[in-house]
């Protein structure tokens, strides 16, 4: 059922071999600048091109949601946008869900206006909740704990500014779902 990537041919004629990629630029998948450490992937024996399979890409996209949902400051524009795209919502759809105008969503995603704390919290919860209801058991305990923690985060007003790490370590969570070739 699942295509076996091991020994697959690269476009260059080389062979893609399973390896742990120590530092992978995940920006193209995330839609914002981010690198990931220690991710199971493939490297071509000839041209050295590094690739990830779809299962790992999907897992990392979800790990990024979990990382973002834990940030102790209001979501900056690019991360608020990321959470919406993970939800699969247009700006209009998210606005309807949250009972606000599309223009408001657009303003916080373009940096014209800071996201309001209540919308920030709602966006995090909306994005996390589907992760509990998927059949990906490896995620459930992490997300359930995080949903509980979010309440504690908001016992004081979140600061406006903060940085998201340039590099995210995904190995501890990915180790629970097995090697890339499984």
Site for Zn ion in 45-74 (CB under 5 A): 46-47, 49
Residue 14 touches Zn ion, criterion: CB under 5 A: yes
Which CB atom, from 11 or from 161, has the smaller least distance to Zn ion? 11
Shortest separation between residue 41's beta carbon and Zn ion, angstroms: 13
Min. distance of Cβ 155 from Zn ion in angstroms?
Answer: 52
CB of 18 to Zn ion, least distance (A): 14
CA distances from 144 to 18, 159, 162 (A): 32, 24, 24
Question: Which one of residues 10, 36, 56, 75 is an interface residue with Zn ion (CB under 5 A)?
Answer: 10
Determine the interface stretch with Zn ion among 25-33, 38-46, 56-64, 97-105 (rule: CB under 5 A): 38-46
What minimum distance in Å lies between the beta carbon of 13 and Zn ion? 7
Helices (H), 26-158: 27-30, 54-69, 77-87, 91-98, 102-109, 117-133, 140-153
- Sole window of 2-10, 54-62, 79-87, 123-131 interacting with Zn ion (rule: CB under 5 A): 2-10
**Reduced 3-state DSSP string for 79-90:** HHHHHHHHHCCC
Rounded to the nearest 10°, the torsion over CA 2, 88, 133, 28 is 50
Instruction: Please tell me the count of residues contacting Zn ion according to CB under 5 A.
Output: 7
Q: What is the distance in angstroms between the CA of the first residue and the CA of the last residue of the chain?
A: 12
Pairing of strands 50-51, 35-44: antiparallel
Instruction: Tell me the closest approach of the beta carbon of residue 52 to Zn ion, in angstroms.
Output: 15
Is 160 a binding residue for Zn ion by CB under 5 A? The answer is no
> Quick check: helix, strand or coil at residue 47?
coil
21: which 2 tokens?
Answer: 């990629």
> For binding to Zn ion (CB under 5 A), which residues are involved?
10, 12, 14, 44, 46-47, 49
């Amino acid at each position: 059922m699942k295509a076996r990537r091991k020994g697959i041919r690269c476009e260059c004629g080389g062979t893609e071999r399973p390896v742990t990629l120590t530092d992978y630029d995940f920006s193209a998948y995330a839609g914002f600048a981010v690198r990931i450490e220690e991710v199971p992937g493939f490297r071509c024996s000839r041209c050295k091109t590094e690739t990830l399979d779809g299962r790992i890409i999907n897992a990392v996209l979800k790990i990024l949601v979990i990382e973002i949902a834990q940030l102790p400051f209001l979501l900056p524009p690019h991360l608020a946008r990321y959470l919406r795209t993970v939800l699969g919502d247009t700006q209009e759809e998210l606005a309807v869900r949250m009972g606000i105008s599309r223009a408001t969503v657009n303003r916080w995603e373009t940096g014209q206006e800071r996201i309001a704390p209540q919308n920030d919290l709602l966006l995090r919860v909306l994005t996390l909740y589907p992760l509990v209801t998927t059949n990906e058991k490896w995620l459930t305990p992490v997300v359930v704990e995080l949903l509980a923690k979010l309440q504690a985060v908001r016992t004081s007003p979140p600061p406006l500014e903060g940085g998201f790490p340039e590099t995210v370590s995904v190995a501890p969570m990915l180790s629970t779902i097995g090697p890339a070739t499984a």
